[in-house]
């Protein structure tokens, strides 16, 4: 069966990458994770990739021509779909245009709340708690030139509970939303890509 070739871009621990790896051949059937790329050579996510038998590459910003080298690695590996899973780098308009409608990201809030430039990691959950919202969640969206501004693919709500800290809320959003939505969105996009390529 023809499958979309997926690259997962990571910067840290790789919990969302693990959710994708765990979903192979269950939720994720139309796509194959063939490459993990990190901008951080010490990312634990690279060990997760190795344990799963997935090829990995490191492309560091400080080595210059970052996006050109990243694009070259993706194109060499004939990547159809790029998934940003805790990738702590904003990609330029030129890069996102080059892979238009082929890059997805998971964001730990219900966009348009608590999103955009500067909203990532614990900061999102700190802001949600400071604002006093009773419901938060996660969003998977297409990536374009506007941070968190691409078309929404999937969203899932998660309750905010009394006594939540940013860390507790972050964990709940990951477990109840991010790890569920990301494999679903990967399957949805992979199916769409395969369908287009079979026309």
Catalytic (active site) residue 107 = yes
Which residues are bridge partners to 155 per DSSP? Answer: 139
Closest CA to 133 of 157, 103, 116: 157
Q: Pick from 51, 87, 79, 57: which is nearest to 69 by CA?
A: 57
**Candidates 48, 102, 107, 172; catalytic one:** 107
Measure the CA–CA gap between 52 and 195, rounded to whole angstroms.
27
**Torsion of the alpha carbons at 48, 25, 191 and 36, rounded to the nearest 10:** 10
Distance CA 173, CA 139 (A): 10
The span from the CA of 158 to the CA of 100, in Å, is 30
DSSP per-residue string spanning 6-67: EEEEESS--HHHHHHHHTBTTTB-SEEEEEEEES-TT-THHHHHHHTT-EEEE--GGGS-HH
Tell me which residues are annotated as active site.
107
């Amino acid at each position: 069966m023809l499958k979309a070739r997926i690259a997962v871009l990571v910067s840290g621990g790789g919990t969302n990458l693990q959710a994708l790896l765990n979903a192979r051949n269950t939720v994720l059937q139309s796509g194959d994770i063939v490459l993990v790329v990190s901008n951080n050579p010490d990312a634990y996510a690279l060990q997760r990739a190795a344990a799963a038998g997935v090829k990995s590459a490191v492309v560091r910003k400080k080595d210059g021509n970052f996006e050109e080298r990243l694009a070259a690695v993706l194109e060499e590996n004939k990547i159809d779909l790029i998934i940003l899973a805790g990738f702590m780098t904003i990609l330029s308009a030129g890069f996102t245009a080059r892979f238009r409608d082929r890059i997805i990201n998971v964001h730990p809030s219900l966009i348009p709340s608590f999103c955009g430039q500067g909203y990532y990691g614990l900061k999102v959950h700190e802001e949600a708690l400071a604002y006093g919202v009773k419901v938060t969640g996660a969003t998977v969206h297409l990536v374009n030139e506007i941070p968190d501004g691409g078309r929404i693919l999937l969203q899932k709500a998660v309750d905010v509970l009394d006594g939540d800290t940013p860390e507790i809320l972050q964990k709940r959003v990951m477990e109840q939303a991010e790890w569920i939505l990301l494999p679903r969105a990967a399957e949805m996009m992979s199916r769409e890509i395969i369908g287009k390529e079979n026309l």
